């Protein structure tokens, strides 16, 4: 179905892929494992037409039996191929928080030209199949991590893609929730005749796939079948997890189609924005109500206030024009200057002005 031959990809002086060849068979699930920097994500991006290889070829047989060259196609053709034939699930989901669950899942259909009502009807069917019935109107922040990742799985499936690429789909989840998401992913891809390519570092996830491809330093070093895949998938469905049924529906009918003559139920009314879902306690324990923090009385004594400095009086305004002016205060005459003027020694003060002959001041005649 998809064939890659002699892929090479370099980033500067770093070799990300070196002579990698890989075949993906329809209806199979393949896990790509390797250490960080081994080239597994680069390989997935080249196979999905997100980036071009430096050399090599990637070809795919579409639903009409036509051979499509992915690596050498134009940017427009590769964009159309990703929208119509590929689905993507990322580690962090990359969902739009302002949209509801059903709007996020229906977004690829609406971008492809499907009417909003029809797109949301199909998306609601996929949410039902993944155990999210009744959560259509919840925004992403109102969902748990596992619920949000199942919304991402539904978004990847609504266009009926031939291949689903999942990059660490359980990397941000706990082990129990990761089993549920992986069961949902396998049940809606290889369980329905689609091809699944998973990039993972978890050997438990890889063991549930049909094949495991090992990479190291951009080189494919191992490609082997996983004999425990069928047993792991069977046991995961019996361990109490809410994995959806993986049995394919009869030909020509999708699992979300309503019976003949019936109208599918409309999505639930949208919950008010900001309304949190029912609190889910970890490991099944009931949430412990948090008591308010006790308030310790702290007797606050009146803080001693320093004396407020008295503000100097504002300068008096000038008297209006024509008003009598107050005489200035008495000023001592300046010291004599010029040749022969006495020096200004310690205690020198100029004599006060003399009165005319025969006049007295308050102190008597002079």
**Within-domain flag for 329:** no
How many folded domains does the chain comprise? 1
Give a three-class secondary structure readout of the chain: CEEEEEEEEEECCEEEEEEEEEEECCCCEEEEEECCCCCHHHHHHHHCCCCCCCEEEEEEECCCCCEEECCCCCHHHHHHHHHHHEEEECCCCCCCCCCEHHHHHHHHHHHCCCCHHHHHHHHHHHHHHCCCCCCCCCEHHHCCHHHHHHHHHHHHHCCCCCEEEEECCCCCCCHHHHHHHHHHHHHCCHHHCCEEEEECCCHHHHHCCCEEEEEECCEEEEEEECCCHHHHHHHHHHCCCCCCCCCCCCCCCCCCCCCCCCCCCCCCCCCCCCCCCCCCCHHHCCCCCCCCCCCCCCCCCCCCCCCCCCCCCCCCCCCCCCCCCCCCCCCCCCCCCCCCCCCCCCCCCCCCCCCCCCCEECCEEC
Give the Cα separation of 78 and 130 in Å (integer). Answer: 29
Give the Cα separation of 102 and 108 in Å (integer). Answer: 11
Burial status of residue 311 (CB atoms within 10 A of its CB: 0-12, 13-18, 19 or more): exposed
Q: Which pLDDT score is estimated for 360?
A: 55
Q: Which pLDDT score is estimated for 252?
A: 35
Q: Which pLDDT score is estimated for 262?
A: 37
pLDDT at 180 over 90: no
**Within-domain flag for 318:** no
The domain that holds 227 is classified in CATH as 3.40.50.300
pLDDT at 329 over 90: no
Q: Which pLDDT score is estimated for 245?
A: 38
Q: Which pLDDT score is estimated for 18?
A: 92
Token readout for 271 is 């919950």
Place of tokens 């977004």: 107
Of the listed ranges 89-98, 202-211, 272-281, 286-295, the least confidently predicted one is 272-281
Give residue 32's pLDDT band: very low, low, confident or very high (50, 70, 90): very high
Residue 294: φ, ψ to 5°? -65, 140
pLDDT at 350 over 60: no
**Within-domain flag for 208:** yes
pLDDT at 130 over 60: yes
Of the listed ranges 132-141, 181-190, 244-253, the least confidently predicted one is 244-253
What pLDDT, in 10s, does the model give residues 137-159? 888 888 888 888 888 888 988 88
What pLDDT, in 10s, does the model give residues 204-256? 888 888 999 999 999 999 888 876 554 544 444 444 443 443 333 333 334 43
**Within-domain flag for 103:** no
**Within-domain flag for 99:** no
Of the listed ranges 33-42, 164-173, 230-239, the least confidently predicted one is 230-239
**Within-domain flag for 365:** no
In angstroms, the Cα distances linking 9 to 45, 79, 112, 184, 225 are 11, 20, 31, 33, 26
User: What does pTM read for this prediction?
Assistant: 0.60
**Within-domain flag for 26:** yes
Token readout for 217 is 């330093």
pLDDT at 87 over 60: yes
Q: Which pLDDT score is estimated for 8?
A: 93
Q: Which domain holds residue 220?
A: 2-94+161-244
In angstroms, the Cα distances linking 123 to 53, 141, 167 are 34, 19, 22
Compare 167 and 312 and report the one with higher pLDDT: 167
Give the Cα separation of 30 and 195 in Å (integer). Answer: 8
Q: Which pLDDT score is estimated for 355?
A: 58
In angstroms, the Cα distances linking 30 to 16, 195, 217, 252 are 20, 8, 19, 26
**% of the chain beyond a pLDDT of 90:** 11
Give the Cα separation of 183 and 130 in Å (integer). Answer: 10
Give residue 190's pLDDT band: very low, low, confident or very high (50, 70, 90): confident
Q: Which pLDDT score is estimated for 264?
A: 39
Q: Which pLDDT score is estimated for 94?
A: 79
Give the Cα separation of 125 and 132 in Å (integer). Answer: 9
> Is the Cβ–Cβ distance between 10 and 56 less than 8 Å?
no
pLDDT at 13 over 80: yes
Our measurement of the distance from residue 16's CA atom to the centroid of its chain's CA atoms, rounded to an integer in Å, reads 27
Give the Cα separation of 218 and 9 in Å (integer). Answer: 9
Q: Which pLDDT score is estimated for 175?
A: 78
Give the Cα separation of 210 and 173 in Å (integer). Answer: 22
Our measurement of the distance from residue 108's CA atom to the centroid of its chain's CA atoms, rounded to an integer in Å, reads 19
**Within-domain flag for 328:** no
**Mean of the pLDDT values across residues 350-356?**
60
């Amino acid at each position: 179905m998809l064939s890659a031959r002699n892929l090479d990809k370099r980033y500067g002086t770093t070799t990300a892929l070196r002579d990698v060849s890989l075949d993906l068979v329809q209806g199979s699930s393949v896990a790509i494992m390797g250490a960080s920097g081994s080239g597994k994500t680069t390989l997935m991006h080249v196979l999905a037409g997100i980036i071009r290889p430096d050399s090599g070829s990637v070809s795919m047989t579409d639903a009409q039996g036509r051979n499509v060259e992915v690596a050498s196609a134009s940017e427009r053709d590769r964009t159309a191929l990703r929208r119509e034939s590929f689905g993507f699930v990322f580690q962090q989901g990359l969902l739009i928080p302002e949209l509801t669950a059903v709007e996020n899942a229906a977004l690829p259909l609406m971008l492809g030209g499907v009417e909003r009502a029809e797109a949301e009807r199909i998306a609601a069917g996929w949410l039902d199949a993944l155990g999210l019935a009744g959560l259509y109107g919840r925004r992403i922040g109102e969902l748990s991590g596992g619920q949000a990742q199942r919304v991402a799985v539904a978004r990847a499936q609504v266009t009926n893609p031939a291949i689903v690429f999942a990059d660490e789909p359980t990397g941000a989840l706990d082990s129990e929730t990761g089993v549920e998401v992986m069961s949902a992913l396998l049940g809606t891809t290889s369980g329905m005749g689609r091809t699944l390519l998973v990039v993972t570092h978890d050997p438990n996830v890889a063991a549930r796939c049909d094949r495991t491809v090992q990479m190291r330093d951009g080189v494919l070093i191992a490609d082997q079948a996983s004999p425990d895949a069928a047993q792991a998938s069977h046991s995961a469905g019996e361990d109490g997890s809410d994995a959806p049924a993986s049995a394919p529906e009869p030909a020509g009918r999708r699992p979300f189609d309503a019976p003949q003559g019936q109208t599918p139920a409309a999505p639930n009314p949208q919950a008010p924005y900001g309304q949190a879902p029912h609190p889910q306690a970890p490991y099944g324990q009931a949430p412990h109500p948090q008591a308010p923090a006790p308030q310790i009385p702290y007797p606050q004594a009146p803080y001693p206030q320093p004396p407020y400095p008295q503000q100097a009086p504002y300068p008096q305004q000038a008297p209006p024009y024509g008003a009598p002016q107050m005489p200035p205060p008495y000023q001592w005459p300046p010291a004599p200057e010029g040749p022969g003027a006495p020096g200004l020694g310690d205690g020198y003060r100029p004599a006060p002005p003399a009165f005319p002959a025969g006049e007295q001041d308050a102190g008597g005649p002079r």
